[in-house]
Amino acid sequence: MKSALIAIFSLLAMCLTACRGPVCGNNPVDGKGAFVIGHYRNLFVEDGHSQKEVNHKIKTAFQQLFHGNPTNQTVYYAAGNNSNGPLAYVTDIKHHDVRTEGMSYGMMIAVQMNKRTEFNAIWNWAMTYMYHDSPTHPSCGFFSWSFKTNATVNSEFVAPDGEEYFVTALYFAVNRWGNGKGIYNYKAQADRLLTNMRHRAQITGPVFSYRWGTNSVITVTGGPLFDAEHKMVLFSSTSERPPFTDPSYHLPAFYELWARWGPPADSNFWMETATASRDYFSRVTHPVTGLAPNTANFDGTPHTNFWGQGTSNFGFDAFRVAGNWSVDWAWWGKDVRERQLSDRLQAFFESKGMTNYGCQFKLDGTQLDNRHAQGLVAVNAVASLAATNPRSKEFVEALWNMPVPDGIERYYEGLLYMMALLHCSGEFRIWTPQ
């Protein structure tokens, strides 16, 4: 009997030792998605495409968008060298600028594709030209959201979606490649930026911005990028207007990782922001169409007083919202409402015609234009990660059959397309600490 008990206890000890990592975890805090089980769905293979075909499609898209013909294909451009090494930027071809949105997307794509050279070159350009280190500037500790390709600033304001992707890409980089030195100490850079996003002191001062065809300097007060009361990301950190948010900036899948990998003192806050964003998705989307506005108030009502540009409608920023909740479901599996949202949204777009639905709508579904945007088609396929209805396969196939974006719209459309390929193939992964 004694030997039998020893054997039982030894077996239990072995099981506990083997299951210390997240893949074996059964902790409800970790959810039940890819973070725990280590499995990422390949929607293309599920639809009958071979892994070889999938690999070829991903490789071809990356090659075109990062190293294709500079006149009509690539969005990534080498820009010389400095003391930190090669420089490169990702540019919005249509608007002739470099944005933190595209730079951070480029870094995320590079780390997922194991392209450290491109990753470091983009980060070097961002830190060299876009980063604010003056302690008296309202954007100190953050990045100007828009520059010309010659490194002349367009706007010194901060667009928090860029910071969010920078932080997560940097954590993935240290986990995949290890730290380098200086600006390539990815962990230190991510921790510093994340701390500023949560705790940056209020600073009042002048901010330069090019608006409505003229240069202007506005005195504002800037602070953290998250609202402490509502646990939500801000559209802007400045006091130029009453605070509000952008639903497409809500990234609960990332916040869960920050809670685990970022400065421990803020772990609870990031867990709370993840929960707040999941609740917000259900409030901010239309109950019939599933459409979200470009900007919104903290209570979920559309924000209607921002530059008079119809930001209370579903438009280009809002393309991304369905991808955010669907990736959150795929990685964490914590909120079943995200599945309902994907089914609702895909039912709406199916009703508009799979090959010709527009890309801008009022929230009730009234169509405002007729352009069948490749970026929207891409994100609607990512929504299939959370969807339960068989129609989801139609959206995956629509992405599969779509060519790599080129021409004047290739920046936003192309980056969303590239990330959608990675998400739908199971190749956009959580890179955990080694």
pLDDT in tens, 244-278: 999 999 999 999 999 999 999 999 999 999 999 99
* pLDDT score for 80: 98
Average pLDDT over residues 110-121: 98
* pLDDT score for 306: 57
pLDDT band at 426 (very low <50, low <70, confident <90, very high): very high
Which stretch of 195-209, 213-227, 324-338 has the lowest confidence by average pLDDT? 213-227
Average pLDDT over residues 331-358: 98
pLDDT band at 304 (very low <50, low <70, confident <90, very high): confident
Average pLDDT over residues 22-40: 81
pTM of the entire predicted model: 0.93
Average pLDDT over residues 217-246: 93
pLDDT band at 78 (very low <50, low <70, confident <90, very high): very high
Q: Is the pLDDT of residue 42 over 50?
A: yes
- Token reading at 159: 């667009």
Q: Is the pLDDT of residue 349 over 80?
A: yes
Q: Which residue has the higher pLDDT, 315 or 11?
A: 315
44: nearest Cα among 355, 328, 384, 386:
384
pLDDT band at 20 (very low <50, low <70, confident <90, very high): very low
Q: Is the pLDDT of residue 325 over 70?
A: yes
Quick one: angle between helices 160-177 and 252-261, nearest 10?
Answer: 50
Domains observed in the chain: 30-73+244-434 (1.50.10.10), 75-230 (1.50.10.10)
pLDDT one-digit tens code per residue, 137-185: 999 999 999 999 999 999 999 999 999 999 999 999 999 999 999 999 9
Average pLDDT over residues 97-117: 98
Q: Does residue 61 contact residue 417 with C-beta atoms inside 8 Å?
A: yes
* pLDDT score for 215: 84
Known catalytic residues? 101, 317
